[in-house]
Chain A
Amino acid sequence: MRCFAVAAAMTFAVGNTQAQVGQPANNKPIAVQSTNTPVTQKTIAVVGAKIYSGEGDPIENGTVIVIDDKIKAVGKDIAVPAGAEVIQAKGAVVTPGFVDAITHVGLAEIDLEKSANDESDSKGDDRIRAAYRAVDAFNPESTVIAVTRLGGITSVGVVPSGGVIAGLSAWADLTGKGASDALTNTSLAVHVYLSAGSDPQGGSRGAIVRAVREAFDDARFFQKNKSAWERNQSRPFSAGRLDLETLSLTFGASGAGAKKTQPKVPVVFHADKASTILSALSVAQEFNLTPIIAGGAEAWKVRTTLAKAKVPVIVNPIQPGPDSFDTLGTRDNNAALLHEAGVPVIISTGETHNSRKLRQLAGNAVRAGLPHSAAITSITKTPAEAFGMGEKYGTLKDGKWANLVIWSGDPLELSTKVTTLFIRGKKVPLVSRQTELLKKYRVARQ
């Protein structure tokens, strides 16, 4: 295991199409590429690993074949194509790149520094800021991105905060490239914050729900009566035009005259209190939205309802307890109870700088009763599917992006580390500003 780790560290390269030959401690070459490989296509075979594909039981001693930026095949008895770069991963574990669905990665470089934080619209006390788009502020050069990758995370939800409706999130692959490359969905979800204290105008929970209902109602009216609005023959709205346009995305249809139904942009209701979750579901039903619950500290109390409605719930398994009047019913086995009831469970940090803790959170959910395989699914397949990204992300399957991670052991265990990480088939160097600082100050003791 350790030999492998050393070798993997020696062979990383970004977008390298050359053969990688490492010399591990056991003196066996671990990566070989034959000379007659066509330069236009790069094939990588990870062999001998325990593979968690993102769903179901792990495959022992399995193989993953990657061609260019996609996964080609995953399984137990898969022939390694001639010319493939072979990565011996015996004793190692392979997973899809983890997904942290709710983060502010790329928006906040330093939380408390206004000039280095674009997490929020920060505009007075507006409640409705739906048109605030993560894509407009996403900084691909944030040092947080590389730090996050070292936690085995290859994609994050880039989520705005602030106000009752904070804006439109984006799905970011942690490529370190600009928005056009990194953000594969810039209309990921609309984020609605329902907990007490979310209202910049100081309204109660009821006032918050009323504001949300009014905004969606205005959006519906706006969508149907756009031309009237343009002729200045419409009613006054509680939000701006762009906000209403954005909210319209959650209805699916792109306009009154649209022939084709667009996929609905989901609405993430950030809500912890059981009664607030039910209010969110009721708003979702009223406007025929596709809801996702985030926070969900008390979601276990309404798990039957959530399961019946197939509403995914994003939880934080290390929610410390009744730390607000919204979270009095916090339980450490929330994720386990939801899973058991059939609710699609997503584990997320809701963090920026410590999104890398995602696997620790999943490990804690397992500690509290969530099956290990379900914990892996909750940070791979389920978030990808809940946000409509399942076609390309979330599991190791033919045709999906080759976002995968090779681990020195159980990915949820604290002593385990990432040894190799691929994003869209490219090995990404396991370095960050933090590893550079370490290098600068690391003088081994004599």
Chain B
Amino acid sequence: MKRTLLLAIGALFTACASTPPPIQTPQMPQPTPVLPPPPWDRPSIAQGLELPVPLGPLVVIRNGTLLLATGRRITRGTLVLDKGKIAAVLDGDVPAPAGAVVIDATGKYVTPGLIDTHSHLGVYPMPGAAAHQDVNEMVAPVTAHAQAADAFWPQDPGIERAVAGGVTAMQVLPGSGNLIGGRAVTVKLRPGLSSRAMHFRDAPDGLKMACGENPKRVYGEKKQAPMTRMGNLALQRNAFLSAKKLEREWEKWAENETRRLQKEGKKRQDFEAKRAHRERQKNLCNSSVPPESCEQWAKEWEKPLDEPESSDPIEKPPRDPGLETLIAAMHGKVLVHVHCYRADDMLNMLALSDEMGFRVKSFHHALEAYKIRNELASRGGIGVSTWADWWGFKLESYDGIPENAALVHEAGARAIIHSDSSEGIQRLNQEAAKALAAGIAAGVSITEDDAIRWITVQPAWALGVDSKTGTLEVGKDADVVLWDKNPFSVYASAEKVWVDGVLVHDKTVAKPPWSDFEVGQENGEIDAVETPQRGQKQ
């Protein structure tokens, strides 16, 4: 109302004034210039390079026991998958809509797709061969610029076998030979011809770091740094300090570039204002009643009004993908995963993370997490990715106990069962079952509905994808496993596995292998020779 009135008065003034307005540049507030995002801002190097995801048909799974991984189960429920998402989770049976693929799961179990926070499939693929060593760039202890996505071989025969174990997503990491091994990538386990094609849409990359024996052994044996745990932490600190330096350079650049753009904007604004003012004067002077000052104004018009010269953009800091990855880690864009066994190593890493300002998303292996479980719980969110029973293969793994996951869970920290193994990833359900049994035997109050979370939603959380997968909840990706028996039984197998609603594994149907490597390999009996006799036992 008020505004309209003012405008009306203004219009009247313009039309009727006999005195021209004074020449002045309007002092409009400068809008903050929008700078292009710095190179470390992208959470995944695969982002934007993914292929379209095929979304599955309408599937109705009836009468199964649904382990929701929310802490609840439905003993006789219905799960509806549609267009790649979980469309309904229902207690009881419902009539299936027309056109749906109907699966009777009577006596069977349904869980979210299993997720592994720690795999080297594709970067340390089968068959083990010199040509397949793509996991550890052990030429320098800090190789944050290395990217698992660049080495991932999607033809690894281990991938299909992991799917047959009910796994639908995994993080593929560089190895632990280096202090900072590089970027990890999270993929969905559907057939694809590159890591980008298999990339879990919108999943952030991980940053792989390592504590303890491995890096100091690898480089110590070469008489290089790090040779000790002291060297480990010192070099990791240095790496983050270098990243901070680069980050400051980017901040400086952003400040200077902003100032330049603002200055340029100001010049342009002044120029535009002057030009507009002249236009206005000319219009007035061309009117039927020209103002008296037109003659004086015209002198001013003769002076040239040059376009403002544009300044050169300020040069950006040099690209450094390794340090950029560390900056991204400090900004929480890339999630930090640290290979660490001993309690003291983990506490030292947490001290470093506090000092440098990054957050450890998950410790991996973490065999002594049970010793510091309250510390880990009190920090709110730190994942503890561990095994059920690996121990003793190196000194820092000497104190591993089977109750680790259960004790961590009991303390309120996030227990995760991971594999770090082409065998273990095929049996995450069995690994969780062993860890559950050990916990129960130790008197920890836990159930299957807790333990299913260790291999579904908790790893999903550690990989930053728990809003998309990890539970049977409406709206989540249709990453689902149908088990022929209770998955905590050694006798259970994944009968069917869906990724984004697409059936990627069906135990009851023989299919050609996913992996091109396995196509056409002789796989039959070769008995043809004269049978050697075993002298003594004939």
Contacts and interface: CB of A to CB of B under 8 A. Distances in A.
A264 B534 contact: no
Interface residues of B, number: 63
B437 A111 contact: no
Contacts of A311: 534
A252 B537 CA distance: 13
Interface string A336-365: 000000000000000011101100100110
Given A264-B536, A288-B535, A356-B389, A320 B433 contact: no
A111 B127 contact: no
B441 A417 contact: yes
A325 B127 contact: yes
Contact of A444 (B126, B158, B443, B521): B443
B392 A111 contact: yes
A414 B437 contact: yes
Contact of A434 (B401, B433, B493, B531): B401
B422 A320 contact: yes
Given A110-B394, A309-B531, A309-B532, A323 B128 contact: yes
Interface in B377-401: 389-395, 398-401
A25 B392 CA distance: 37
Q: How large is the interface on A (under 10, 10 to 19, 20 to 34, 35 or more residues)?
A: 35 or more
B359 interface: no
Interface string B498-538: 00000000000000000001100111111101011111110
Contacts of B168: none
A305 B525 CA distance: 10
B534 A291 contact: yes
Interface in B386-430: 389-395, 398-403, 407, 410-411, 421-423, 426-427, 430
A324 B131 CA distance: 12
Interface stretch (B99-107, B172-180, B250-258, B483-491): B483-491
Nearest to A197: B128
Contacts of B532: 281-282, 284-285, 305, 309
A413 B490 contact: yes
A308 interface: yes
B529 A414 contact: no
Chain B CB count within 10 A is highest, among A437, A441, A445, for: A441
Contacts, number: 166
Please classify the interface of chain B as helix (H, G, I), strand (E, B), loop, or mixed, using the class held by over half of its residues: loop
Nearest to A359: B490
Interface in B418-452: 421-423, 426-427, 430, 433-434, 436-437, 440-443
| A interface: dominant SS | loop
A441 B370 CA distance: 7
A16 interface: no
Interface in A308-324: 308-311, 318-324
Interface stretch (A32-40, A131-139, A296-304): A296-304
A328 interface: yes
A322 B535 contact: no
A367 interface: yes
Given A325-B129, A437-B401, A445 B531 contact: no
9 contacts: A111-B392, A252-B536, A285-B533, A305-B527, A310-B537, A320-B422, A367-B491, A438-B401, A442-B407
